């Protein structure tokens, strides 16, 4: 397996198409066809290849978390984590996420939203247990039904209490 780390702007059309196909195959979610319309040019991708086949992917974009009464934290927000169904449970997802974590030295913390918390807990991520909300110009938008938000503490992460309120800036397509 070969791991590559590239920015969104460095991905050619064939690689972008492979990423989209992989994500749709892994998640059975057609909305991944729109993935690259949501990603900024500086998104950081980790790609796992077996021979000529893309078998693993994850991308980081910059977002801004804020714990209760704390500072804004430059956040590595992880999206589109996918492993080819034919290659799952072979360490590919773990290798992609380990490589990704090693590339986050410029961030205060990492965050993601998942339905597979146990996978990420094995890699050092922790569930956020406190209330969650989005921050907009009009104030906070509570997200009480949001489940599966996890954080990864990095060398620059300040003291965090995962039982307190955590907010993130609202994006046009989503909050978390």
Number of other CB atoms surrounding residue 27 within 10 Å = 15
CATH number of 2-169, picked from 3.20.20.70, 3.30.413.10, 3.40.630.30, 3.30.1490.100 = 3.40.630.30
pLDDT at 172: 78
Q: E-strand spans in the chain?
A: 2-7, 44-50, 53-67, 73-83, 109-113, 126-127, 132-136, 139-142, 149-153, 166-169
pLDDT tens across the length of the chain (176 residues): 999 999 999 999 999 999 999 999 999 999 999 999 999 999 999 999 999 999 999 999 999 999 988 899 999 999 999 999 999 999 999 999 999 999 999 999 999 999 999 999 999 999 999 999 999 988 999 998 888 999 999 999 999 999 999 999 998 778 99
| d(C-alpha 76, C-alpha 100), whole Å | 10
Assess contact for 175 and 134: CB atoms under 8 A.
Answer: yes
Question: Alpha carbon of 65 to those of 3, 96, 109, 111: distances in Å?
Answer: 28, 23, 8, 8
Q: E-strand spans in 16-108?
A: 44-50, 53-67, 73-83
Question: What's this model's pTM, rounded to 2 decimal places?
Answer: 0.93
Which residue in 22, 74, 25, 77 sits closest to 48, CA to CA? Answer: 22
What's the pLDDT tens digit per position in 11-58? 999 999 999 999 999 999 999 999 999 999 999 999 999 999 999 999
């Amino acid at each position: 397996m070969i791991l590559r780390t590239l920015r969104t702007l460095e991905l050619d059309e064939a690689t972008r198409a492979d990423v989209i196909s992989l994500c749709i195959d892994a998640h059975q979610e057609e909305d991944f066809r729109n993935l690259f319309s949501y990603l900024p040019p500086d998104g950081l991708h980790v790609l796992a290849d077996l021979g000529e086949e893309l078998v693993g992917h994850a991308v980081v974009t910059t977002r801004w978390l804020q714990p209760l009464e704390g500072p804004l934290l430059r956040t590595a927000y992880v999206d589109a984590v996918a492993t080819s169904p034919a290659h799952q449970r072979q360490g590919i997802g773990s290798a992609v996420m380990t490589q990704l974590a090693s590339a986050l030295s410029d961030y205060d913390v990492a965050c993601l939203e998942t339905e597979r918390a146990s996978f990420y807990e094995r890699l050092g991520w922790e569930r956020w247990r406190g209330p969650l909300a989005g921050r907009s110009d009009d104030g906070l938008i509570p997200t009480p039904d949001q489940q599966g938000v996890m954080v990864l503490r990095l060398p620059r992460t300040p003291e965090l209490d995962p039982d307190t309120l955590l907010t993130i800036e609202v994006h046009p397509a989503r909050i978390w």
